[in-house]
Amino acid sequence: MNAGEDQYVVLLATGGTIASRNSAAAGGATVAEDSGEVLLQSTGYGSIPVKVVDVMRKGSYRLTFPDMLDICSEVKAALSDPLVVGVVVTHGTDTTEETSYLADLLHDDWRPVVFTGAQFAADHPTPDGPDNLRRAIAVATSRDAGGRGALVSFAGQIFHSAGVRKVHTTAHAAFDSPDSIPAGSVTGTGVVSMDSRPARFEPLPAPQTGDGVGFPRTDVVASYPGADAVMIEAALAAGAAGIVLEATGIGNANPVMCTAVAEATAGGAVVVTSTRVHAGPVVPVYGTGGGKDLLAAGAIPSGLLRPGQARILLQLLLALGMTRPLIEQHFHRRGLLVPQDSDALTALTPSKG
């Protein structure tokens, strides 16, 4: 461990399977019940002090965009203390890819923010939460993990948030990053190994929050064989300012959906084309309703961002009041997951002392 005297880790507990147990009061359903302190005690961790903050206690399938912003706000508050070496967020695996990506987009500090969770509940015969949390704390204390933004640590693997996805509903190794290599690994004894540090995109500002502040509606609409315009029209009727199209293949739909996209963008909505395919970029190639026609209709290709993370980026950019040309620029760059040589980058460095 690299932490010095009086330094500590902050554990932000938000619920999820790692904090869940079977509940008779909930009719035998599994629900988030354990506090962050209970989670910490389950690890037997004692190498560095850990301050626990209970942010919320929810299954992550219940989270809203404001909930995710609240978690990011708690991350920033935790890092206001220079004695904090890193932050660990326990989170449900269903939407870890969304919240961790939002945290990464907003993270403007050198110190690591590490998301983790569990596939098996706390009262499972062999829960994986304690081991995942113990390893995540080790990552949060590792100087080598600094400067990388928000990370996901799970089943011994460490991933950059951009591009990470849940790839299995029940397996221990729940996450992968199909379009990039893992950021590193961490052993059961807390030995952290990281790859060479990639450059980071500059962080984005957090949008205004508080009573009376609303956020532009952003929906995901799926394309499939025989899909029509009904779902796009319904999203617009509900007030959607942004739509992520979960297209097929390298970003294809059909002529009917292309017409609906053109009408949506002409009316001021921002449409982004992603794909349901596991890996690979969105590339506008095909006509007759394919990606080339979607591009002509005004849709913005998401690059390597899948629908969940594409929606988070679009939601944030809309909440910040960005124009469509600026949104397109951000997707063109951030859709590559890592910056190119020509990008303007931040130079976050560790604090002295």
Render 292-311 in DSSP notation, one character per residue.
HHHHHTTPEE-TT--HHHHH
Q: Distance between CA 143 and CA 57 in Å, rounded?
A: 30
Could you tell me the pLDDT band of residue 220, with boundaries at 50, 70 and 90?
A: very high
Tell me, yes or no, if the two domains 8-194 and 217-334 fold the same way.
yes
The residue with greater pLDDT, 200 or 311, is 311
* Phi and psi torsions of 186, nearest 5°: -140, 130
Q: Among residues of the chain, what percentage have pLDDT more than 90?
A: 89
Instruction: Render the burial of 141-167: b for 16+ CB within 10 Å, e for the rest.
Output: bbbbbbbbbbbbbbbbbbbbbbbbbbe
230, 257 in Cβ contact below 8 A? Answer: no
Residues of the chain by 3-state class (helix, strand, coil), percent to 5 = 30, 25, 45
29, 23 in Cβ contact below 8 A? Answer: yes
- Give whole-number Cα distances, 139 to 114, 344, 352, in Å: 7, 28, 20
Q: Is 22 helix (H, G, I), strand (E, B) or coil?
A: strand
Tokens of residue 38, six digits: 């209970």
pLDDT of 1 > 70? The answer is: no
139, 151 in Cβ contact below 8 A? Answer: yes
Segment 248-279, tens digit of pLDDT: 999 999 999 999 999 999 999 999 999 999 99
Q: Distance between CA 129 and CA 122 in Å, rounded?
A: 7
Task: Give me the active site residues, please.
Answer: 17
- Which of 92, 106, 91 is closest to 316 using CA atoms? 106
Tokens of residue 53, six digits: 């903050």
292, 286 in Cβ contact below 8 A? Answer: yes
Average pLDDT over residues 201-212: 89
Tokens of residue 259, six digits: 């017409």
Report whether CATH 3.40.50.40 matches the domain 217-334. Answer: yes
The amino acid occupying position 343 is D
Q: Chain-wide mean pLDDT for the chain? A: 94
305, 218 in Cβ contact below 8 A? Answer: no
Q: Distance between CA 107 and CA 99 in Å, rounded?
A: 12
What is the DSSP secondary structure assignment for residue 144, as one 8-state letter? G
Q: Distance between CA 150 and CA 146 in Å, rounded?
A: 9
Segment 49-71, tens digit of pLDDT: 999 999 999 999 999 999 999 99
Segment 137-172, tens digit of pLDDT: 999 999 999 999 999 999 999 999 999 999 999 999
Quote the distance between the C-alpha of residue 233 and its chain's center. 28
Taking the domains of the chain in order of start, what are their residue ranges? 8-194, 217-334
Tokens of residue 208, six digits: 């205004």
Average pLDDT over residues 72-98: 98
Domain 8-194, what fold? Rossmann fold (3.40.50)
Could you tell me the pLDDT band of residue 352, with boundaries at 50, 70 and 90?
A: very low
Strand partners, 84: 8
